[in-house]
Chain A
Amino acid sequence: MMFSACAAAILITMGMALFRSIKGPSVYDRILAINSFGTLTVILFSVHGFMTERPEFLDLALVYALINFIGTIAVTKFVTYAHMGHPTDDNERGDI
C-alpha cells in the first residue's frame, strides 16, 4: 500500500521532469530534466522490486544509475565541444 503511494508520487514527478524536458528553453534544461528522470527511474526500479516482492530488480537499478551518469557526462561534453574528443583550441575550458 505504502509502496504504491510512493510509486505514484515518483510517477507524477517523472511526468513533471518529462514536461520540463519537452518545454525547456535551452538544451541544458533538457539535459537536467533527463538526468532527474534517470534518477527517478532508479528509485522506481527499487520501489517496484519491493512492491512485487522481487528485490532482484536492484541490480538493474544499480546499472541504470551507472549508465545515467555516463550518459549525462557524454551528452554535456558533446553539447559543449560538438565532438567526444579532447578540447582542441581553448584549453582554459577544461575537460568537463
Chain B
Amino acid sequence: MDMLINIVSWVCIIGGSMFCLVGGLGLIRLPDMFARMHGASLIDTMGIGLILIGLMFQAGFTLITGKLVLILIFVFFTSPTSTYALARAAINGDLVAKVEDNDGSKQEVRSSKT
C-alpha cells in the first residue's frame, strides 16, 4: 500500500513537472501575447494541480494536506481572474493579435472594443 501511494504521488509530481516545462516552453516560443497566455494557463492549472496533488499523497491526512488544498483552491480561483483582467487590459490597450489563415497568409486582427 505504501509502495502504491509512492508510485501514484511520483507519477503526479513528474507529470506536473513536465506540464510546467511545456508551459514555460510555450511562454518562450508562442508568437503572440494571447497565445502565450495559453502556455501560462498550462502552468497555472495542470502544473500546480498535479504537483500539489502528488505532495498531498506524500503528506497523508494531516494539516499539511489541508494547507495544500487551500493553496490549490485559491490558485484555481484567482488564476482565471487575473488572466481575464490581463486580457481585457491588453484589448483595451490596443494590442493586436497575429493570426494565420489556412493558406498560410498571416494577418493581424484588431478586436472590437466591447
Contacts and interface: CB of A to CB of B under 8 A. Distances in A.
Contact count band on B: 35 or more
Interface string A2-41: 1101100110111111011000101011011101100110
Interface residues of A, number: 49
A16 B27 contact: yes
A32 B40 CA distance: 7
B14 interface: yes
Contacts of B48: 39, 42-43
B21 A55 contact: no
B23 to A, nearest CB: 7
Nearest to A32: B40
Contact of A62 (B14, B70, B84, B93): B70
Given A32-B40, A43-B48, A96-B85, A62 B67 contact: yes
Interface of B: 10, 13-14, 16-18, 20-21, 23-25, 27-28, 33, 36-37, 40, 43-44, 47-48, 51-52, 55, 58-59, 64, 67-68, 70-71, 74-75, 78-79, 81-86, 88-90, 92-93, 95, 113
17 contacts: A2-B13, A5-B14, A6-B14, A15-B24, A16-B24, A17-B24, A26-B95, A28-B95, A32-B36, A33-B27, A35-B82, A36-B27, A39-B47, A47-B51, A62-B71, A65-B71, A66-B74
